[in-house]
Structures are given as C-alpha cells and as structure tokens.
A and B are shown apart, each in its own frame.
Chain A
Amino acid sequence: MLGQALRRTAQMTLVVFGVVTLVFFVLRLAAGDPARLLNQPGTPETIVQQVRERLGTDRPLLVQYGHYLADLARGDLGVSFHGGQSVRDAVLEALPNTAALALVTIVVASTIALALGIAAALRPNGLVDRSVLVYVAVAQATPAFWLAVVLVLVFSINLRWLPAIDLTGPKSFVLPVATLVITLTPVLIRTVRQSFLETLSEDHVRAARARGLPERRVLLVHGLKAAALPLVTLIGLQAGFILAGSYVVEFVFNWPGIGKLTLDALASRNFPMIQGGVLVAAVAFVLVNFVVDLVYAALDPRIRLRAS
C-alpha cells in the first residue's frame, strides 16, 4: 500500500513538473516581450533593457529556468511583473474562490445528473426520458460564454435578482454555477442514464427484485452503487474541464479566482503570475484524479483487490 502511494505521488509530481516546465518554456518561446509591453513605442532601448534586467528576462533561458525551479523548491512562486506583488499570495487568495466554485458546481451537477439520469433510465423512451434527452442536446450545444451573458441579462439586469459580476456572497454563486452546471451536465446525465439502463438489466438487480426487495431499495442500493462508478470516473476526467470551464466563467463573471488571475496575466505576458496559475491548476488536476482513484477503490472492491 505504501509503495503504491509513493508510486502515485511520484507520478503526480512528474506530471506537475512536466506541466510547469512546458508552460515555462512555451511562454518564453512564444511571441511577446513583457519589457516591451511595459513601455511605449519610442522608449530608448536602454530603458527597455533595464526593464528586462529588472524582470530577469534578459538572462539565458536555462538560467531563468534554473532560478525558477530553485525558487519553486522553496515554495517561492516569484513576484508579479506588474506591481511586484507576491505570486504565492495572489494565488492563495484566488484559490479558495475557484475551489468553492468548482465544489459547488460538482455537487449540484452530480445531483442533477443522478436525478435526471435515473429518472430517464427508469422509463426508456418515456416522456421524462425524451425531455431529458432534449435538455441534454440543447445544453450540449450551448456555449458557456453565451449562456453566461444571457443569464446575466435576464436575472441581473432585467429582474435584478442576482449580482451580475463579482463574488459578494452566496447569491453570487447562482449564475456562475448555473452556467457551469448547464455546460457540464449533458455528458454526466448521458453516462448515468446509460449506466443505469445497463445495471437494471443485470442479473443481480433481477435477483434482488426476485427476492422481493422493495423497488426503492433495488434502485438506490443495487442500481445506484453500480451507476455511481462511471459517474465518479467521469467527474475525475471532467476535473480539467471544470477548471478550464471555470476560466471562461470567471472571466465573464469577474470571479476573483485562479482563472481570472491567469487570463489577466496572460494578456500582459506576466510570466510569474501565469506560471503560478497553471501550477495550481496542474496540482488541482492530479489531486482530484488521485481522490477519484481512492473513491473508486472504495466503491469497487475489485479495484482494491487488484491494487493489493
């Protein structure tokens, strides 16, 4: 067990290391000199060079990389190119906001997916099933940024029920979470529905019914447990989507999270801030997958047996 944990930790570290390395080099090899962007045209080259020296972008790439890794090992993510704020502080301030958004989204999306997926699977081709499938088709075809704007227009500007932007309290979660949930649920509902349909036709469910177990128990104990497995897997796989999806949502709703922090930094080539944002996203991604593996093992004894 210890060996497996160590192996997983090494794998995760390698993935994060690979991501931060890739981002470090891609940022610097892509077009866009931060020092030049900080100055107006006509600024003497000596001044621009001074700015490069101040930012450290004048040094050879591998030297910059070495400094970056050394700082990273000490937990130092550097300082912003603009204003000199600590990247670690900025990231730590933004992280809980993104985490809260992602968590609420996952809880709401999973609940809706289970409810609609099971309801649809109980009577295939029935009215509920067809309605759910129509919702899935429409939601799948709806872009998140468009949906966000429409929701703001209706609920914030016309009805004045909810804030249009910012994180100012519980009400602020409604529109961003709704946007993410509507974008996320189609694939989850399809998976739950399909999984439940297969489960309901399996021998152990039929056996349970034959034993005279109440239908509710058959569905919630025997059916749900089996149907939950692919849902958990999918949520793990969708963790990246939730993070990436929340980038768009954070941007549109001015949500003070990692996504907004990174996108704001990207436009101005604020390398340390981008690297900090991507690092957090990478760590979150591997951790979520790690947790999913644990949950999966808890739900499915075959996984535990294989691991042991």
Chain B
Amino acid sequence: MQVEVGWNGERKERGMRPHDRANEMLEEAESRLGRGEISRRQFIRLTTAFGVTLAAPGFLAACDVGDDAAETPTATGSADGGEPTGSVRFLSAENFWADWDPYQANALSQFRLNKQIYDYLLDFPTGDLSKPEPMLATSTEQIDERTWEFKLREGVVFHDGAAFTGEDVKASIERASGATDVEVVHAGSWVPTTVEVVDDLTVRLKTERPFGPLFSALFNTQIVSAADLAGKAASLKNQPNGTGPWRLVANEPTRKVMDANMDYWAGPPRIKEMIWEFVQDPQTRLSALQAGQAQAIDRVPPEHLEIIESSDDLMLASVTGIENVNLWWRPGRFELRDTSPEFRKAVAWSIDRAALTENLVLGQSAVADSFVPAGALYYEPQSPAYTFDPDQAKELLTAAGVPDGGPEFELWVASGFLPRAEQVVQSITDSMRQVGLKPKIITTDIAGMVDDIFSDDGTGAMYHISWASSGDPNGALAQLIGPGGVWSDKDKRVHSLLADGAAETDPDRRGQIYSELQQHLWEQTPHIPLYYSDFTIGHTKKLVDLRVLPNQFETYFYPASIQE
C-alpha cells in the first residue's frame, strides 16, 4: 500500500476508504446495540454520524430475528477487482432547480448532484469541517493567515480525458471566489482568492483577507477544468465535465442519469449506473422503494419511519441535519418584538419544544439549544433551555408592558415543506395563546412564504422555516443575521462577532468568538430556535456504504455498492 504524507505531516495510507476508519466505530456501536444500551435508531445515528451508512444490514436483520443466522451480503464491484455492477435509482425530494453552470447556483439539489460528478480539493468524510481528508489535494499547509499551499494529486483526468493540473484549481477557485470579472453566486460564501500555480501539482491560495471558513468554502467548490471555464462555459450548463466518480449521460429536467467513470483516480465506482430523479410526493417515493422500483429515497417523513424500519428489505440512514428549524422574527414588522427583549423571551418560554419533537416530529429531530446547529463547528449548548413555562412567560409579558399578550401578529407556515409543519405551528399557537399571545396562522406554500419574507410590503411577523448550511457557523449565521441579512436586527455586537469569526483563521480563537456569539444570541433571543431536524434517507439493505452527511444533505454514492 502506498504511503504518502497527509495533513500536518501525518502519514496516511493511500486507498484507505472512509468506511475503513469508521469500521471501529461500527464495531463499538454494534456491541452497544447488542448489549441493549442503544436503540436501533440510535445505532443508525451513531454509525451515520461517522460519515457512512455501513454495511450493517445483516447485523440489523440478525437483531430482528434474534439470532446470528443472518447473512451479510458480499460486496461485488470494482473495489474487489470486478466491473461496476447494478443500477441505483435515487428519488430526490428537491427539484433540480439549477443548470450545471459552475458556481451560479446554490440550490441544495445541485450541490448534491455536483458531489457525484465533480471532485473537490478536500473531502470531509465525517462531515466535520475541521477534519479534512485528501481528495484532489493530497496535503495542505497554512503558510500565513492569508496563504495556503496545496499539493495536488497526480494522474487525475477529467471526464473528457484532459489532465488535471494546478491551472484548473486556479481557474476554479478564482471564479468561485469572485476574484474574476465574472459575477457568480458562490462568491457570497468566499472572499476573493487568487491562486498562484507553483508547479503543475502545487498551488498557493491567497485570500484577499484572513478567511476563517476556507474549508467550508472549499467544501462547496467543485473543481472545474480551466479550459472549460475559459472557452466552453456555456456548454458546461448542460454537460458537466468533472473528475468525479460518475459522468452525466442524460440530462432531463427532472431526471439525471450517470454512468460509472472507469478512469476515476480512486478506482471505478462499484455501481454501474446511477439515476437521480425528482419525485415530489413522499408517499410516491416510499411506494417506489417498497416495490423495488427505487433503491434509495430522499427525506423520509416521520410517518414513514416505522414502515421502513419494520421492513425486512429496507433501512434508514439518519443524521441530525445542520439545519435549524426556527421561528424567525422578521425585524421591522412587529414593533413590540423589535423593542422588547422581555417580549421576545416571553415568546420563547411559551413553546413546548420537547413535545413538538417527541410527539409531532416523532423524534426525528433534537430540541435546539443554540443558534448554531448541533452538527456545526463550534456548537455550544446554551442555557437556560427554554421550556414551556406559562408563568414565566406571563411575568415577562407583564414586564414588557403587555400583560394581555400584546397585539396580533402573523405567523406564517409553508405547507408541504418541513415535515408536519402545519401541525407543529398549530401546536405552537395553541401554547402561545395560553399565555395571552395572539398569533394568527397564515398558511401558504414555500414560494409564497419566501416572497412575503423578502418583499418590502410583506405582512408576516414570524415564519416557521429552516435554513441548511455546510457546517460552519459563518455559513449558518452570517448570511442570515449578518449585515444585509433579512433576519438581521442590525445588532452591532452580532455583526462585529460575525466579522471577527469570518476573519479569524486560528481554530481556537474562532471557537472563542463563536462561543461569545452563541451566548449573546441566546440572551437576546432575536428568533426562536425550535429543533435541529433529522435528514433521513431510506434505502434497500442491498445498498451498502452509502455516505449520508448532514452538511448540505450530502448523499454520496462512492464507494457504495449494490449487492447481488
């Protein structure tokens, strides 16, 4: 096995797959499950938290029947020297909103597709952005607070056969970061960054200013061919050309067909063909999975968990998402909320969030205890844990000068977006009314809600909605409550801490900044964090080594395989 120098001089074994490292965790989790210390769902959470849904169907089946007679399927495919086999059909819950124009879309569905077709400089197999692994870069070193050097992998080729070099990294990073004349959407999560090509396999990234969330930006930035960006950018809109494990062979509006890239630098995928298809209705997705017409389905809603869990052929891969489902106050729309911290806290004490997560979302979430999601970097749980305390809420309303609860305000909810959203909001308004608050529910679809949020003449004061992120607090918060963010209160301390966090490259100091920020936000309660929702994929037990991560709802099919 070839050995090369990895991160910070560590020696790493080339060819070691993410699931090799996670196997130890699986063994531990299996042992705990066997001893009855954890439930099956906790077992799934534990294993997927380490980056992969491991080949445990046999084990789970054994638990079901109560003996050890279950057979563990044997993997077939390229990893064992064979040809890629089988076809996997994955039914996505999100439409493919964007085209393939590089860096011009930030739709989640596009990121998830890009991940199959493109490679990135770094890989984050556990979802922890502080623990990168080699991908197109084999090692990295921070030269100073603005400069990073990357050694690149040799022998990588794009799908069109062109060799991958430092020039491709330069073209990609400079385009994505907004360092060129081309205005791109991705620049919003970067600072302009120039790239010096030291030689074909060495590049130095120089950020315009110190940039803490560099790894988060790299997590989102696929490496595109310099030649394509220079000359064929228009054709890239319909035909992506990456270095990743799959090539796009059919590009229909709601259906993307990919074939195995037999020249993939880490070895061909084990699955020969992959089909991603948008199917809006969760029941239709479930029916297809149960009937064997799909091998994996997206975003399993709470009411379908039991059906999949009780099936002999199906299983769940579930992680707590980097997604805060919050009640977001729209600053400037409800004066009492804008001016009275007591009122904001009274609202926080008027909601029974534990009941919401246990009874309505059926445990498919965790009660939020910070404005930074639980899976993100520098997350710190805060106190007090706002629980349902009507007396406390009424006292605070009296202190705010509105013992009767104050005037009516609109609480918007989008039908068909978040699981059981209407029931959750109905429950919330019921408990709010118990303390005298006067929410008025407005039900719409997600398009109508987004329109009302951003319109100058919007009428909503509060919205039940979530935003996902890559797992860095900068991404999770800066675009939402930073300067210019629609949810921003123009709180100078918040803006200052966000700016400091984005500009700090030392992890410890960043941690201190975000710790302070989380405490400040919890104290001010500008919005109401409700819960961190789970991201759950349902799939056949024949599909193994599927990587499901909360970051941008990553669903990575390399090196997954489909068993005979």
Residue of B at shortest CB range from A149?
Answer: B283
Q: State which residues 264-311 of B face A: CB under 8 Å.
A: 278-281, 283-284, 287-288, 290-293
A230–B237 Cα distance when bound, in Å, is 53
Residues of chain A touching chain B, judged by Cβ–Cβ distance below 8 Å, are 30-34, 36-44, 46-47, 50, 80, 82-85, 90, 149, 152-153, 156-157, 160, 163-166, 251-254, 263-264, 267-269
Return chain A residues, CB-CB under 8 Å to B290.
156-157, 164
| A-B CB contact pairs (8 Å), 12 listed | A32-B447, A33-B450, A36-B454, A40-B467, A41-B487, A43-B185, A43-B479, A47-B183, A80-B253, A156-B290, A253-B284, A267-B280
B95–A267 CB distance below 8 A: yes
Of B43-51, B97-105, B375-383, B418-426, the one with at least 4 CB within 8 A of chain A: B97-105
B291–A268 CB distance below 8 A: no
B445–A156 CB distance below 8 A: no
A50–B485 Cα distance when bound, in Å, is 19
The distance from the CB of A36 to the nearest CB of chain B, in whole angstroms, is 5
A41–B284 CB distance below 8 A: no
A254–B445 Cα distance when bound, in Å, is 21
A32–B450 CB distance below 8 A: yes
Q: State which residues 229-259 of B face A: CB under 8 Å.
A: 237-238, 251-254
Given A39-B106, A41-B486, A267-B445, does the pair A84, B185 have CB atoms closer than 8 Å? Answer: no
- 7 new A-B contacts at CB < 8 Å, known A44-B484, A267-B446: A41-B480, A41-B486, A47-B185, A82-B95, A90-B253, A165-B291, A267-B416
Residue among B98, B238, B281 with the highest chain A CB neighbour number at 10 A: B281
The reply on B451 being an interface residue by CB < 8 A is: yes
The reply on B407 being an interface residue by CB < 8 A is: no
A43–B287 CB distance below 8 A: no
The distance from the CB of B276 to the nearest CB of chain A, in whole angstroms, is 13
A254–B185 CB distance below 8 A: no
Interface majority SS (helix, strand, loop, mixed), chain A: loop
The distance from the CB of B469 to the nearest CB of chain A, in whole angstroms, is 9
Return chain B residues, CB-CB under 8 Å to A43.
106, 185, 188, 479
Residues of chain B touching chain A, judged by Cβ–Cβ distance below 8 Å, are 95-99, 105-107, 183, 185, 188, 237-238, 251-254, 278-281, 283-284, 287-288, 290-293, 416, 444-448, 450-454, 467, 478-480, 482, 484-487
B99–A83 CB distance below 8 A: yes
**A157 is contacted by which of B96, B291, B444, B484 (Cβ under 8 Å)?**
B291
A40–B110 Cα distance when bound, in Å, is 12
A34–B252 Cα distance when bound, in Å, is 20
The distance from the CB of A43 to the nearest CB of chain B, in whole angstroms, is 6
B107–A38 CB distance below 8 A: yes
Given A33-B454, A164-B290, does the pair A40, B95 have CB atoms closer than 8 Å? Answer: no
Given A33-B454, A41-B467, does the pair A165, B444 have CB atoms closer than 8 Å? Answer: no
Return chain A residues, CB-CB under 8 Å to B107.
38
B284–A46 CB distance below 8 A: no
The distance from the CB of B460 to the nearest CB of chain A, in whole angstroms, is 11
Residue of B at shortest CB range from A157?
Answer: B290
A226–B482 Cα distance when bound, in Å, is 74
Residue among A41, A252, A264, A268 with the highest chain B CB neighbour number at 10 A: A41
Given A32-B451, A83-B253, A84-B99, does the pair A165, B284 have CB atoms closer than 8 Å? Answer: yes
Return chain B residues, CB-CB under 8 Å to A251.
280-281, 284
A42–B467 Cα distance when bound, in Å, is 11
**A32 is contacted by which of B251, B288, B448 (Cβ under 8 Å)?**
B448
Residue of A at shortest CB range from B488?
Answer: A42
